[in-house]
Amino acid sequence: MSITVALAQVNLMVGDIEGNAERVMRCAERLRGKADLAVFPELTLTGYPPEDLLLRPACDVRVNAALREIARVASGITLVLGYPVTRDGLRYNAAGVLRDGVVAAEYLKMKLPNYSVFDERRYFEPGTNAVVFEQGGVRFGVTICEDVWFDVPVQRAASAGAEVLLNLNASPFYQHKAEEREKLVGERASRFGVSVVYVNLVGGQDELVFDGGSFVLDRRGEICHRAPFFEESETLVTLDRGVPKPANVEPVLDELEQVYGALVTGTRDYVAKNGFSSVVLGLSGGIDSALTLTIAVDALGAKSVEAVSMPSRYTAQLSNDEARRQAERMGVDFQSIPIESVFQAFLDTLTDTFAGTEPDLTEENIQARSRGIILMAISNKRGRMLLTTGNKSEMSVGYATLYGDMAGGFAPLKDVPKTLVYRLAHWRNRNGEVIPQAVIDRPPSAELRADQKDADSLPDYAVLDPILARYVEEDQAVDEIVAAGFDRATVERVTRMVDRSEYKRRQAPPGVKITRRAYGRDRRYPIVNGF
């Protein structure tokens, strides 16, 4: 006796309850006759994370209406999907089993993550009871995301007789997450002797990317099926007397392919889900904007991308040439808009005000901000979202100009350290040079004064990035970092720069989380901070 389960790995829209319900119903229509059971991601109807939309009483009303609609089409196929539910004035993160026109069973998530980017205790109470339902002679347990990272929920499901666990997820990407996930779920499967159908969300939502890669493990924890990463899919797995039969196993992507896939997905979805169809960015002839351009083109297509070079009196000819070369090679709109006359107009306007002072960072910032105004003007005039091109190393130490190069709607590289920017640039060139080699080879420079180099203000990125990873992602103290072999003066200077730049990061646009700890919801630091 066999039963077929569909893993509905869908890309949903946060807050669009009716639209997400429509997606579920269309999926049910398509799968009826092919699958007995379809499993959707966590909080299917609201998308994830719905954040404070959950606090709106209208959210409940609309979810309940959508659920009734979906229940009506739940015949000939069982649908397992996620939604928020309120019982006796308390809200839960629920998974409903819809069949024969009704919600036949409802599981309430037990383990509510409240760390990193997660705020589930802000919204939900924990459930306590296992839910097991029977279909086609197989007993299915239901759990939600974080639940399978702990023993108790799985143990309760197994004790209640579950042979196969359906786990609904909204598990955001960071480096190596896919491997970590399967290992952990595999341990749970073998420990409690249950097969696991793990269905993940796919797509970008603000700073998060859900990478898909849904999978099925047997009761020994061995992989039977893996869905693709970073794309929607409806894959089928047949259970024979509760035992999953081997199906297609997509490969796990290598490290750089994973990260690049997340950057492209996050950028594409942020732009499109905010109602934009094209972007503009400043192309400086440096490596950050060069990589941002390839991400933009891979996400949206060359026709939807405009690149602007904005040379100043300090811009090397190499910068102009290589920017133009890459733009032409990639087939994007390109123009060069010199900033000299606006820069000079600011200097003239401020002559009296600044009389008797020496040029300093002020004049550098005026240039960066003049570029910000020009790019925002193009964004406003043509309805194109401005992508900002800064990387995580700069964002960490504040080596960026607020309202200047930090201006923009989205920052694809915000969580990508500079050393990883280089590795990704090499990787993107693997099938032929897209990013000019000269851009990769030149020493990094902001070109905001004569002969300026990043190395004048910052340690080498090969030294800076590991210090930043230890301080920002691993919470190490100065002494620990020094003990690991770094120069004390450098560590003290770097960590001080990180602390003092929080005010800039607070005004930065969102970007794609790809590390274990990104700036944004993931790292909540005070600005006023005497630590």
Candidates 27, 59, 145, 224; catalytic one: 145
> Of residues 27, 59, 109, 163, which has the active-site annotation?
109
- Residue 247 burial class via C-beta count within 10 angstroms: exposed 0-12, middle 13-18, buried 19 and up: middle
Phi-psi region for residue 486, left (φ > 0), alpha (ψ -120 to 50) or beta? beta
231 is catalytic: no
What backbone phi and psi angles, to 5 degrees, belong to 226?
-140, 130
Contact string (CB under 8 A) for its own copies, positions 78-117, x = contact: ------------------------------------xx--
**Window 506 to 525, contacts with its own copies (CB under 8 A):** 506-510, 521, 523-525
User: Which run of H or of E encompasses 285?
Assistant: none
Q: Which of 51, 222 has the CB closer to its own copies?
A: 51
Pairing of strands 223-226, 215-217: antiparallel
How many angstroms separate the CA atoms of 218 and 225, rounded? 10
Residue whose token pair is 């003239």: 348
Strands 37-39 and 78-87 turn out to be parallel
CA dihedral sign, ordered 257, 258, 264, 265? positive
Q: Does 496 contact its own copies by CB under 8 A?
A: no
Stretch 286-325 residues interacting with its own copies (CB under 8 A): none
* Closest to its own copies by CB, 40 or 133: 40
Query: Per this entry, what is the length of the chain?
Result: 531
The conformational region for residue 167 under phi > 0 = left, psi -120 to 50 = alpha, else beta, is beta
Question: Which range of residues in 65-73, 152-160, 376-384, 456-464 is near its own copies by CB under 8 A?
Answer: 376-384
Query: What character string, x for contact with its own copies (CB under 8 A) and - otherwise, covers 39-58?
Result: --------x-xxxxx-xxxx
Site for its own copies contains 146 (CB under 8 A): no
By CB under 8 A, is residue 60 in contact with its own copies? Answer: no
Counting DSSP H helices and E strands in the chain, the numbers are 18, 19
Rounded Cα gap, residues 215 and 227, in angstroms? 6
Among 34, 121, 313, 496, binds its own copies (CB under 8 A): 121
Instruction: Give the span between the Cα atoms of 67 and 49, in whole angstroms.
Output: 19
Helix (H) or strand (E) holding 461: helix 461-468
- Residues in 191-230 that interact with its own copies by CB under 8 A: 204-206
Is 355 a binder of its own copies (CB under 8 A)? Answer: no
Q: Which two tokens stand for residue 170?
A: 């909204």
- By CB under 8 A, the residues from 462 to 481 that bind its own copies are 475, 477
Q: Which is nearer to its own copies, 381 or 489 (CB)?
A: 381
Judged by CB under 8 A, the chain residues 11 through 30 that form the site for its own copies are 13-17, 19
CA–CA distance, 317 with 440 (Å, rounded to integer): 16
Stretch that binds its own copies, among 139-147, 217-225, 255-263, 347-355 (CB under 8 A): 347-355
Which helix (H) or strand (E) is 452 found in, with range?
A: none
Least Cβ distance, residue 319 to its own copies (angstroms) = 18
Nearest distance from C-beta of residue 476 to its own copies, angstroms: 8
Of the candidate residues 236, 256, 316, 373, the single one contacting its own copies (CB under 8 A): 373
Q: Is there a catalytic annotation at residue 145?
A: yes
Q: How far is the CB of 56 from its own copies (least distance, A)?
A: 5
Q: Which of 128, 129, 248, 380 binds its own copies (CB under 8 A)?
A: 380
- The answer to whether residue 403 forms part of the interface with its own copies (CB under 8 A) is yes
* Catalytic residue list contains 42: yes
Cα–Cα distance for residue pair 14/190, rounded to 1 Å: 34
Using CA atoms, how far residue 25 sits from 74, 85, 459, 499, in Å, is 8, 20, 55, 49
Regarding 427 and contact with its own copies (CB under 8 A), the answer is no
Site string for its own copies, 258-277 (x = CB under 8 A): -----------xx--xx---
Catalytic residues: 42, 109, 145
